[in-house]
Structure 1
Amino acid sequence: MPADVTDAAYLIAHNHTGGVRVLAERMGVSANTLQNKLNPNNTTHHLTLRESVALQVMSGNPAILHAMAAALGYTCVPALPDQAAGDPVEAFVALQQEVGEFTSAAADAFRGGKAMVSRNEIKRLQYRYNELISALNQLLATAAARVPAPVEEG
């Protein structure tokens, strides 16, 4: 993930199938206007917040969100759907699987007492970390959905 929001916006559009032209069409703006706003060397035209959200929604790539979070010292995890019908045992098993996947990624990165970790190993660790956090959130949401509503005394 790019660490800079400007780079993230540029890369979203230029790595998207169809590029700037397709995204501009989906967003309802001209391709030239979007291209100018995405140009990191342009000092006069910039994406608005709404355009940044639209760019990410239309591309399916939340890189700007992640770059913003990183700049502020945060990370992002996907929101969970309502877990009222979720199976707590399945959620617990999924959590344990993610613990294993994260542990495996960490072991591979540090195996053999390596002094350095590769960029790909870091990317894998970050991905497994996010999946682990999502599994924790899912288990918590599944448990929270089973808390009985408070009884009102009257």
Structure 2
Amino acid sequence: MNILDTLHAVAHAYKGGCESLAPRLGMSAAVLRSKVNPNTETHQATLMNAVQIAEMADDDRVLEAWARERGYALVKMPNVEACSDAAIVELMGEAWSTHGDVGSEICKTLQDGRVDMKEVDHVEKKIFKHAQVLFSIASRLRGMAE
């Protein structure tokens, strides 16, 4: 999903939708709906609008979509107090799971002998998710270092 589609989804997924989110951003619901509609050219969301929407919604999907479009994987920095052996074990389990998700998605993609861009996008999402988990493990270990 591209950044504009993601911004639209985040705004509409906010509890109460645009009608509830817009006043918190200092605009009308109609203006917000227009700004986040990727098919509207008359109103366009600014970078600050996107940041405010993401912050207000406590939703990182816009940031993740932008990073993915630029070829990056985001890693949420761990809370150093939450770093423990148990947290590492939990992340290792998640890493094994996401690794399996990558393999499953690749198998599904190759099943019919053809590969299309939508399938590549699905594989790429699984790979990015797996990379995020691996980088989180490294970050947690760094947080545990004495």
Task: Give 1:137 deviation, angstroms.
Answer: 0.6
In structure 1, C-alpha distance between the alignment counterparts of 2:7 and 2:100, rounded to whole Å: 33
Q: Say if 1:24 and 1:30, in contact at 8 Å, map to a contact too.
A: yes
In structure 1, C-alpha distance between the alignment counterparts of 2:69 and 2:124, rounded to whole Å: 18
- Structure 1 residues 87, 96: CA separation in 2 closer, same or farther (over 3 Å shift)? same
C-alpha root-mean-square deviation of aligned residues, in Å? 2.9
Task: Give 1:5 deviation, angstroms.
Answer: 0.9
Rg comparison, structure with higher value: 1
The correspondence of residues 131-146 of structure 1 with structure 2, limited to 5 A, is 131-143=133-145, 146=146
Q: Say if 1:102 and 1:125, in contact at 8 Å, map to a contact too.
A: no
Q: TM-score, normalization: structure 1?
A: 0.70
In structure 2, C-alpha distance between the alignment counterparts of 1:68 and 1:24, rounded to whole Å: 23
The correspondence of residues 1-150 of structure 1 with structure 2, limited to 5 A, is 2=1, 4-81=2-79, 83=80, 86=81, 90=84, 92-107=85-100, 110=103, 115-116=107-108, 127=129, 129-143=131-145, 146=146
In structure 1, C-alpha distance between the alignment counterparts of 2:59 and 2:101, rounded to whole Å: 28
Q: TM-score, normalization: structure 2?
A: 0.74
In structure 2, C-alpha distance between the alignment counterparts of 1:25 and 1:87, rounded to whole Å: 36
- The superposition leaves residues 86-125 of structure 1 with CA deviations (integer Å, 9 ceiling, x where unpaired) of 486x2x44223322332144346647xx831699998677
Q: Say if 2:12 and 2:18, in contact at 8 Å, map to a contact too.
A: yes
Aligned residue pairs total 135
Richer in helix (by share)? 2
Percentage of matched positions with identical amino acids: 28
What secondary structure, in the 3-state scheme, does the structure 1 residue paired with 2:22 have?
A: helix
- The superposition leaves residues 46-89 of structure 1 with CA deviations (integer Å, 9 ceiling, x where unpaired) of 111111111001111111111111111101121334x3xx486x
Query: Which of 26-35 and 100-109 deviates more?
Result: 100-109
- The superposition leaves residues 116-145 of structure 1 with CA deviations (integer Å, 9 ceiling, x where unpaired) of 1699998677555434422321220231xx
Gaps of 5+ in 2: 110-118
Query: Which of 134-143 and 44-53 deviates more?
Result: 134-143
